A and B are shown apart, each in its own frame.
Chain A
Amino acid sequence: MRERKWVQEILLYSIVFLLTLPIFILLIWSFTKTWPWPDLIPKDVGLRGWRYIIDPHTKILKILCFSFFLSLAVTFVTLLVSLPAAKAIGQHNFKGKKAIQIFILSPIIVPPLAVAMGIHVKFIQMGLADTFWGILLVHLIPCIPYAVRILTNVYEALGTRMEQQARILGANRLQTQFHVMLPLLAPGLVSAGSLVFIISFSQYFLTYLVGGGKIITLSMVLFPFIESGDRAIASALSLIFIAITLIFFLLINKILRTHLNTQDYFYL
């Protein structure tokens, strides 16, 4: 028994190490000027990468705030849309259920590039191109399948008995959903929400096409620097990127924990 614990710990720490090492290297690169090949530490350090981010002409801080709220809004809408769908699929049997499931997953199967051009053309006609709402809508496409998938599993695991119980005890529909179902769903909402946030936050092509440069997100600023090999600026921007998603994860976790007063049921 003792030995097994030992093995487990080694495994755990090596996973943590493997996950944090790249981030640590990014941190070093963001301060590096020169780091010749055989050296273990950089030869020359500087603040160029971080200065670029703070410099007001680059507007990066503004873009950062905007990206954060855009993805927040996308997450909220995605969850709102996905909950009823997941409930229907997870708890009810109906004709054509399999087909609908596949249909909902199709954005993962069909490459977005194939449909994005058509969507863009339609959006131009509808006046949605280059607008915040257009971006929000188009971000839902890659996000919904993941959210529905995760929440379906949660609903399947929950079953319908809790809901029935609440109804029998006299709660009305709304009360049942808010006071009984929502706390039970909270862990699933955390995992679905985090995933959706990250997906929306890292969208590049769809934002570019539909936003047309009127809407600029962090990934659109980051990508050219990775492409042109500017390691200091790319590393600094990447770290901010990671930090934002971490902050979001902690935030949503905290809010759901304190307000809904739940413990770990299951994380998917």
Chain B
Amino acid sequence: MKKRILIFLLIGLLSISIIGCSSKVSTPVSKDVLDMEWSEVESAAKGSVVNFYGWGGDEKVNRWLDTVIAPALKDNYDITLNRVPMNAEDFLNKLLGDKQVGNEKGSIDVLWINGENFYTAKNNELLFGPFLDKLPNAQKYINLDEEDVKYDFGYPVEGYEAPYGKAQLVFIYDRAKIDAPPKNHIELLELAKKYPGKITYPAPPDFTGSAFVRNIIYDVCGYETFQTLEDGALENNVAPGMDYLRELKPYLWRKGETYPATVAQLNNMFADGEVLFGMSYTPYYASGRITDGEFSETTDTFVFDKGNIGNTHFLAIPFNAQNKAGAMVTINYIEGFEAQISKYNPEQWGDLPVLDYNKLSQEEKQVFDSIPLGKGGIPQNILMEHRVPEMPARFIPRIEEIWVQVLSKKGE
């Protein structure tokens, strides 16, 4: 008898909890942030907390956000920045879950995002916007017609994300060990023949390894064709690049039978002197590791004469952000001169600014030019002259598949 009562009680409790959940009323949205004047947005953001979600695997990036941006936001706008380390795939999963159940009270206010993650987010309507042209600093400092700002891996941005910084693939070598860095893929092959087993690259789908393969394809075949290429024509167009990689293979580390799995592994091997060639998608990566004492003082950075791939990373606001005003004020501050310039400094982070040099005032230009780039860094103007756009995002997985097919063949 006792047991039966208990069971009934439990069933009752469960059903109450289920009913309680489904009858939740969504709170009416107050005035839309996008219709507000900027001063209204700023006052709405005052005293709020902004939850900033992004990759947390770099000590410098974390420190820059925690000790430069967070205090500045507190002082200027009374905003508390809460940085949460989370990879893009993880917060996308979270947002997809929110979308599925219609959760309008999200926990994320700002996202650090780009490339195929942006593509996924925008396609699934996970983003709030368009907000980019509402930001005063975006109007003031950024060239909104620039390709790097309008497109994210070939996908139109349309104001749903704001440029945060620019990245570019660079190669790293040690002046004490190699006299002159290779200027193109042919010289790289010669170098590999001269030092067999001392050169390698991370295996795709590692992000940087995949970019290296694309960079080689660009260097062999030229980048222009790929920007407007039909889907079916990809195989034939990448074939010369793949032939080259196959030719390079026997001279690589462990004769190309295996590759480092991540760029982190490659650069640690470079630090340990096991290979002569490192790479990074962060242009001032080498300066940072020289300062940390992990790369030797004679480490230097180079790019190919025909250029290296570059991309832009962005900040976005999720559809269910609870503090959209705070998010916009935060992003606006990061778009500004002060934040961009401190981010450029390799001692802080060493990320390329998204500022348009021509829009800067005379004093601002001077400050910009006076930033010490540290050892082993290439000045921004040279990087920009050697910058080629990313491959359209939809080609990238296919190229990685072709790489596996071509390079894993036995007996070659």
A residues adjacent to B (C-beta < 8 A): 33-37, 44, 46, 48, 52, 55, 57-58, 117, 120-121, 124-127, 129-130, 208-209, 212-214, 216, 220-221, 224-225, 227-231, 233
Give A48 to B93 CA distance when docked, in angstroms: 34
A264, chain B: closest CB distance, angstroms:
39
Between A124, A126, A214, A227, the greatest number of chain B beta carbons within 10 A of the residue's beta carbon is seen for A124
Flag if B94 contacts A212 (CB, 8 Å): yes
Give A228 to B58 CA distance when docked, in angstroms: 7
Flag if A221 contacts B262 (CB, 8 Å): no
Which residue of chain A has its CB nearest to the CB of B53?
A213
Instruction: State which of B67, B85, B273 has its C-beta within 8 Å of the C-beta of A57.
Output: B67
A191, chain B: closest CB distance, angstroms:
32
Chain B residues lying within 8 Å of A57, measured Cβ to Cβ, are 62-63, 66-67
User: In the complex, which range does the number of interface residues on chain B fall in?
Assistant: 35 or more
Chain A residues lying within 8 Å of B56, measured Cβ to Cβ, are 221, 224
A32, chain B: closest CB distance, angstroms:
9
Stretch of B36-44, B101-109, B158-166, B223-231 that contacts chain A: B101-109
Flag if B66 contacts A124 (CB, 8 Å): no
Q: Quick one: CB contact mask for B247-286 with A, threshold 8 Å, 1 for yes? A: 0000000000000001111011001111000000000000
Give A227 to B265 CA distance when docked, in angstroms: 9
Give A127 to B22 CA distance when docked, in angstroms: 11
Q: Quick one: CB contact mask for B87-110 with A, threshold 8 Å, 1 for yes? A: 100110110011011010001100
Give A38 to B292 CA distance when docked, in angstroms: 21
Chain A residues lying within 8 Å of B273, measured Cβ to Cβ, are 36-37
B residues adjacent to A (C-beta < 8 A): 17, 21-22, 51, 53, 55-59, 62-63, 66-67, 84-87, 90-91, 93-94, 97-98, 100-101, 103, 107-108, 262-265, 267-268, 271-274, 292-294, 296
10 new A-B contacts, CB < 8 A, other than A37-B273, A57-B66, A228-B264, are A34-B296, A57-B67, A58-B62, A121-B97, A127-B21, A209-B93, A224-B55, A224-B57, A229-B267, A230-B58
Chain B residues lying within 8 Å of A220, measured Cβ to Cβ, are 85-86
Give A94 to B264 CA distance when docked, in angstroms: 55
Chain A residues lying within 8 Å of B63, measured Cβ to Cβ, are 55, 57
Flag if A36 contacts B107 (CB, 8 Å): no
Chain B residues lying within 8 Å of A34, measured Cβ to Cβ, are 271-272, 293-294, 296
A209, chain B: closest CB distance, angstroms:
7
Give A46 to B268 CA distance when docked, in angstroms: 17
Flag if B94 contacts A121 (CB, 8 Å): no
Chain B residues lying within 8 Å of A126, measured Cβ to Cβ, are 17, 21
A233, chain B: closest CB distance, angstroms:
6
